[in-house]
A and B are shown apart, each in its own frame.
Chain A
Amino acid sequence: MFFRVLISQARYKWVVTLLVGLAMTCLVTLYVYLNNTAEFANRSMQLVMKNMGHNLLIFPDRADLQDLYLCRDSQVRFADEVTRQMSDSLALSSRYYVSVLQERVGVDGGKVLLTGIEPVARKDETREKGNMIQPLADGQARLGSEAARLLQKQVGDSVDIRGTEFRVVEVLPPKATIDDCRMYVNLRQCQQLIDAAGQINYILAFLCLHRGTLEESLESQEAELAARFPGFRQISRMDVAQGRSLARTTTQKSLHSLLALVAVVTVMVIAVAGLQEVHDRRHETGILLAMGVSHFYLVGLYLVKILAIAALAAIAGFLLGSTLAVQLTSSFLVVQTRAVEFVWSHLPVAMMLTATVALVAQIVPVAKLLTLDPNAILTEQ
């Protein structure tokens, strides 16, 4: 009988039921859409960063950055073992390390930046992703665009450096940085050529967003680096990514403010509808109390009904929000890691959200219900 009364109530005032349901559905739709979009936008951001390549430069505190940037002979070197230690330290947010040793060398009358590289992956990374620096085997060389132009070499040609022959396996597109002048070779061969066994000048690393936002990841990385590798510091090379991240964060905050506003409006709609319903049903409440129905039963009717509507609204809002995300988000994500899809973990959260909103909104109507004077109602003539 309880549920028959419940369903009959909902059907009898179906416009109000629909209004309350729609208000909660709108809230959940917005919530699910925003969170779904944010999740995939975050993945998109990760891929954008990976495409931008290594974004951290790690070097000893004592290094003179002019020496490092200008590749002077006086630049500081340190043990390449440090890279291995960093890759073993899972507390760091960075991953995909590359040991780098560099020196200006003369080749065929010109000068290039001989750059020995050795990618070192973290234990928990299975493969290189994005635009990361790929390893080179012994005897292989990768030329920057300017180095290739200077040496007049292309893929398949040979380059002789201090009696060691390298075959060009790749010529990189111009980037308008000093990297255009580099000739990349295997780190071990480079160390032998310039007599710097076990030495490197700096480490390139890729900062991942697994720790949250870009700012949070950077902050975490700096703290962990200072704690675990004293004597080293880092410089971020991702001003473009930071700009993009800032724009995204701003948009997210604006949209979540909108979500909060919609939540407040939803609470008000439900509260006003609830108050109106308590008023409209005062005669029924009076006679039910006279018949010996408890306040607990009456309050139960209101709460179970609103929670049932909340549950249905959560499901409808989840389906609608997820569908919108799948249909719309895909069209404006610059880079997609994978297709935007339903995130089922949002459903229980949506249920909790609507239940909370419904219960908060029912506080005033239920208080009103409990203070109704059945005698005043029953003696209304």
Chain B
Amino acid sequence: MIQAQRVSKIYTRSGARVRALADVDLTVERGDFLIIHGSSGSGKTTLLLTLGGMLRPTSGAVLFQGTDIYSLTTGKRAEYRRRHLGFMFQKFFLVPYLTASDNIRFPLVLRGTPAGSQERVREVAERLRIDQRLNHLPAQLSVGEQQRVAMARAIVAGPDVILADEPTGNLDRENRGILAQFLRDENRRGRTVVVVTHDDDLIRLGNRNIQLVAGRLDGPRGDDRES
């Protein structure tokens, strides 16, 4: 579904060149629950953003269903993200002036499917147990509720792939469990999930784990499967 072919990424910061990714080859198949882990600065987030069409690699290609996404125009790449991907980040990045309901609904509006969007928002919110908090602003929600809103936003439009960067990083045990179970459920429903995490509970959920060390895949290649 998504293929990274010899992807390298070099940042230039304060005149110094930092290699974040080095010749990474990775294939993500439909229905995968792929865990990317590694120490801080190993290039996990860079790889996630590169797969998500957010960060152009210095060399190599990223293919989605056979199309090199970085050969697309900026607009087409935005459309690729809008139609196929759902993003989650450790910091949630909720729009602070929109209610939880509007935050969740935003991707549906972007896709031009506002009809029935309220029902869809409520359905997802009920699954994440935030249906009583839909009219609240993010600042009025607990951290766990905010992350669940972010999760609802990521999956509400039915993306093919969920890309999550440390989705449970700021959460307590209970909320980590809710999020992990939700991701597991989405994966069982056929959704492809790619997660960058240090969370052992999440790592155990993946059907594939890869580790990055200094920008390189360590151990099994991306096409190996653990189970």
Contact = CB atoms under 8 A, between A and B. Distances in A.
Interface of A: 1, 4-5, 8-9, 11-13, 283-284, 286-295, 374-375, 378-381
A293 B54 contact: no
A11 B98 CA distance: 10
8 contacts: A4-B98, A284-B93, A287-B87, A291-B87, A292-B83, A293-B82, A293-B110, A294-B75
Interface residues of B, number: 34
B87 A290 contact: yes
A291 B49 contact: no
Given A290-B81, A294-B78, A378-B49, A283 B91 contact: yes
A1 B106 contact: yes
Contacts of A374: 54
Contacts of A381: 90-91
Given A5-B98, A375-B54, A289 B93 contact: no
Contacts of A295: 74
B223 interface: no
Given A1-B114, A5-B98, A293-B78, 10 more contacts: A1-B102, A1-B105, A4-B102, A290-B81, A290-B87, A291-B110, A292-B85, A375-B55, A379-B46, A380-B91
Contacts of B78: 289, 292-294
Contacts of A375: 49, 54-55
A291 B50 CA distance: 14
Interface string B25-64: 0000000000000000000011001001011000000000
A85 B82 CA distance: 79
Given A1-B114, A284-B95, A381-B90, A291 B54 contact: no
Nearest to A283: B93
Contacts of B153: 291
Interface string B139-168: 000000000000001000000000001000
B109 interface: yes
A280 B82 CA distance: 24
A282 to B, nearest CB: 10
Contacts of B106: 1, 288, 291
Contacts of B90: 381
Given A374-B54, A375-B54, A375-B55, A292 B110 contact: yes
A287 B93 contact: yes
A284 B96 contact: yes
Nearest to B78: A292
A12 B97 contact: yes
Given A374-B54, A378-B54, A379-B49, A291 B89 contact: no
Contacts of A293: 78, 82, 110
Given A12-B96, A12-B97, A294-B75, A378 B107 contact: no
A291 B107 contact: yes
Interface of B: 45-46, 49, 52, 54-55, 74-75, 78-83, 85, 87, 89-91, 93-98, 102, 105-107, 109-110, 114, 153, 165
A286 B78 CA distance: 12
A186 to B, nearest CB: 82
Nearest to B157: A291
Contact of A379 (B45, B85, B97): B45
Contacts of B110: 291-293
B15 to A, nearest CB: 17
Contact of A290 (B52, B95, B96, B97): B52
A119 to B, nearest CB: 72
A290 B46 CA distance: 14
Q: Which of the listed residues A9, A292, A294 has the most CB atoms from chain B within 10 Å of its own CB?
A: A292
Nearest to B49: A375
A381 B90 CA distance: 8
Contacts of B107: 291-292
Contacts of B89: 287, 378
Nearest to A2: B109
A1 B104 CA distance: 12
Contacts of A9: 97
B96 A292 contact: no
B45 A291 contact: no
A380 B92 CA distance: 12
Contacts of A8: 97-98, 102
B81 A286 contact: no
A11 B97 contact: yes
A292 B97 contact: no
Contacts of A287: 87, 89, 93-95
A2 to B, nearest CB: 8
Nearest to A374: B54
B53 to A, nearest CB: 9
A53 to B, nearest CB: 67
Contact of A292 (B49, B79, B105): B79
A381 to B, nearest CB: 7
Contacts of B165: 378-379
Q: Which of the listed residues A1, A5, A284, A289 has the most CB atoms from chain B within 10 Å of its own CB?
A: A1
Contacts of A378: 45, 49, 54, 89, 93, 165
A380 B166 CA distance: 12
Nearest to A8: B97
A8 B83 CA distance: 26
A283 B96 CA distance: 10
Nearest to B99: A8
